[in-house]
Structure 1
Amino acid sequence: MNLRKLAEQLGLSQTTVSRALNGYPEVSEKTRERVRKAALDFNYKPNTRARSLATGKAMAIGHVIPVSTQQEMVNPIFGDFVTGAGEVYSENGYDMLLSLVSDSDEENFYRDLKIKGTVDGIVMHSPSMDDWRIDLLNELRLPYVVHGRASSVTAPYSWVDVANATAFEAMTGHLTSLGHRRIALINGIESLDFAHRRRRGFLNALKDAGLEADPALMASSDMTESLGFDEASRMLALDNPPTAFAVSSLITALGVRRAIEQAGLTVGREVSVATFDDDLSYLRNGTLEAPVFSAVRSSVREAGRRVGSILLSRISDPLAPPTSEMIPFHLVAGTTTGPAPT
């Protein structure tokens, strides 16, 4: 079934059918629903190449992942994010292009995307504090939205983020309020903006409680389960070990819990653990009513949806001013935190 035959079945012009399928506002909702139903009934699939020629758009969104951060593509956090973004793309007739590129070729890859017209817009992942990609994308005039922020960049850009510093400060404050004085931080890579902000929130909470940070109780690297296990095992073996851990990812927190249990200690009684858990669809922190880990919850899937929606708006109106949006979070108390042991 092609467009011409679908139009004949409906008794409408090909132009009207095309506009109905592509969401043009001049087509009535009644006609739009009639066309959509017929397209499903007749198993009509639009010719993407022809549609691109007609609209002057690639009808695709790019997600470029440098090799140095490729672990991002196989963790539940990235999976949830692209699922949320992909739902928005699909609803609007866009495809998703995931590209893994070497760090040394990344700039040329972005330039090639622009020259070839392969994508209509870019989602920028894992921004560093002073991320060069923002200036490049502004120079190329390629619509983009940053998932996160780059604190040291002064140029205007569109972003969606969670209040990492505030959230981590609240999470660490939960531990100090329980009487913990030896609190460890296991963080992501701190050249990345989100991890830098989380460290700042951690330090703010310690300062508010009149505590000094101990460098021996602070670690940062890729947020893997093994990071949590290795660093927690090291810290628990110290002469003056921590009684609580503030952790940057639920994945890493699972490793921390394994280390605590392997040391013969009880989580939530002898050692507490609080984590930033991102409200993951495929790695649940218990239930909404009964969380396992005390955690900061923020939906990364919703962040993906918002990034996708803002990017499509920027593609439609490239001259519009940049848009920023903060995804809400809330702190939940689970079974992994309790009063500091005496």
Structure 2
Amino acid sequence: MNLKQLAEALSLSQTTVSRALNGYPEVSEETRKRVEETARRLGYAPNSQARRLATGRSMAIGHVIPVSLHEMMNPVFMEFIAGAGQTYARFGYDMILTVVPDAQVGAAYREIAVRKKADAVMIHGPRLDDHRHEILQELKIPFLIHGRIPGRENDLSWIDMNNGSAFETATDLLLDLGHRRIALLNGLEDMDFAARRRRGFERAHAHRNLTADPALMRQADMTEPYGASSAHALLDLPEPPTAFLVSSMITAIGVSRAISERGLKMGRDVSVITHDDALSFLPNTGDKPIFTCTRSSVRYAGERAAELLIDQVMPHPDKPVHEYLKAELIIGHSTGPAPKA
């Protein structure tokens, strides 16, 4: 489809359609959205180079990843990037992905601003004491955070999963099943998502006048060996856990391996609930999946984050956008009543 055909489908002039697609201010917001929605529906892809020349924009979105964000440099992160990339392509944007040492994040942002390499930036994996947004605000670069920065939830734009309430719900299920020795295998807790998950886990205990045992809580990069080694160590305790709440499917596979290696049966002898990012390469599917899980698609999060950044944050950088993605509790084979003493 070309510009003329798109204009005919909309009953608008080619000039109006072109100006709407290129973000000219004289085109009303209602017309711009109608043009963009019709273009997406009909598969019209504008020429990126022409748009750059017409608007002075780079037609690219920047992703600057600090090397220390170990949690993000994993398959879950790549699933998010795949979702975002699909949306960028649909809107005619390119993606710039840069991995730099922590000390060079500010320099990378400044290079984006000076060289106009990107029109906006996505912030990944916010930490409890994150300050990347301050540099972007100083440079006047629009941005969206995948996650939240504590204390800045109201005035910054973000998209996030309900990490705290999801892990509270998962813990409630295990407590309802009679488990009282529940281990938490979390991600690194200087990251906001992991801190919220721990608070949800502790909150579920507190609501029943119980105290979560710190000796049963672990935090680390969410790998399979971390799950296996942690599960072995915890199951060696004089009073081992009867259940595990795990922050990643990849880590949960390690927990499952450890349970099997000890001659135990998951769901009967030891229960496991994991967070499932609905990874395309690691499906936890079926009428009754292997793992009971809190499920939220990280690929969809990438798609939606890119849409929000392009459609709402870039045109109106001073109007914060907030969107929750709710995780669904899925019952699988990995949970059952607490075994009798």
> Counterpart in 2 of 1:141?
140
Partner of 1:338: 336
Structure 2: which amino acid aligns with 1:295? C
Once the 2 structures are TM-superposed, how far is the Cα of residue 229 of structure 1 from its aligned partner?
Answer: 0.8
C-alpha separation between the residues in 2 aligned to 1:214 and 1:27?
52
The 5-angstrom pairing of residues 87-236 of structure 1 reads 87-153=86-152, 156-236=155-235
Distance of 1:116 and 1:317 partners within structure 2: 22
Check if 1:305 corresponds to 2:303: yes
1:273 and 1:293 in contact (8 A); partners too: yes
Q: Could you tell me whether the CA contact under 8 Å between 2:167 and 2:201 is conserved in 1? A: yes
Describe the SS at the equivalent of 2:279: coil
The Cα shift of 1:68 comes to 1.3
TM-score in terms of structure 2 length:
0.86
* Cα offsets for 1:155-187 (capped at 9, x unmatched): 711000111110000001111110001100000
- Are 2:154 and 2:320, in contact at CA under 8 Å, matched by a contact in 1? no
**Cα distance, 1:318 vs. partner?**
3.0
Distance 2:217 2:96 in 1: 37
Counterpart contact for 1:64–1:101, Cα < 8 Å? yes
1-structure distance, mates of 2:33, 2:218: 57
Equivalent residues of 2:71, 2:187 under 8 A apart:
no
Residue-by-residue CA offset, 1:210-246 (whole Å, 9 max, x unaligned): 3222222110011111111111111011111100000
What amino acid does structure 2 have at the position aligned with 1:306?
R
Gaps of 5+ in 1: 4-12
Mapped contact 1:61–1:96 kept (Cα < 8 A): yes
Checking the alignment, whether the CA contact within 8 Å between 2:22 and 2:55 is kept in structure 1 is no
**CA separation in 2, counterparts of 1:271 and 1:135?**
45
Aligned-residue sequence identity (percent) comes to 48
Does structure 2 retain, via aligned residues, the 8 Å contact 1:233–1:259? yes
| Preserved contact between residue 60 and residue 121 of structure 1 (Cα < 8 Å) | yes
In the alignment of these two chains, the number of paired residues is 322
In structure 2, runs of 5+ residues without a counterpart are 4-12
Q: Report if aligned partners of 1:135, 1:155 keep a CA contact under 8 Å in 2.
A: no
* TM-aligned CA distance change 1:141 to 1:203, over 3 Å: same
CA distance 1:263–1:92, change in 2 (3 Å): same
> Structure 1 residue 304: deviation in Å?
1.3
Q: Deviations over 1:78-136 (max 9, x none)?
A: 12212221222111100111111111111111111111110000110000112111222
Q: Where do residues 292-331 of structure 1 align in structure 2 (5 Å cutoff)?
A: 292-312=290-310, 313-319=312-318, 321-331=319-329
Cα pair distance change 1:172/1:92, threshold 3 Å: same
SS at match of 2:54: helix
Deviation at 1:14, TM superposition (A): 8.5
AA aligned opposite 1:57? R
Instruction: State the distance in 2 between where 1:177 and 1:154 align.
Output: 32
How many angstroms apart in 1 are the aligned matches of 2:178 and 2:199?
Answer: 21
- Separation in structure 1 between the aligned mates of residue 330 and residue 84 of structure 2, nearest angstrom: 26
Asked if structure 2 preserves the Cα contact closer than 8 Å seen for 1:147 and 1:161, the reply is: yes
- Map of 1:53 onto structure 2: 53
CA contact (8 A) 2:164 2:200 kept: yes
Runs of 4+ in structure 1 over 6 Å off: 26-29
Does the alignment pair 1:264 with 2:254? Answer: no
The answer to whether the 8 A contact 1:188-1:220 is kept is: yes
CA RMSD of aligned residues (A): 2.7
Distance 1:124 1:174, change over 3 A: same
**TM-score by structure 1 length?**
0.86
CA, structure 1 residues 197+21, in 2 after alignment: closer, same or farther (shift >3 Å)? closer
Q: How far apart, CA to CA, are the structure 1 residues paired with 2:288 and 2:158?
A: 32
**What corresponds to 1:7 in structure 2?**
none
CA distance in 2, matches of 1:205, 1:162: 18
What SS does the corresponding residue of 1:98 show, helix, strand or coil?
strand
- In 2, the alpha carbon distance for the partners of 1:278 and 1:205 equals 22
Equivalent runs, 1:66-81 vs 2, <5 Å: 66-70=66-70, 72-75=72-75, 77-81=76-80
Q: CA separation of 1:14/1:155 partners in 2, compared to 1, >3 Å: closer, same or farther?
A: closer
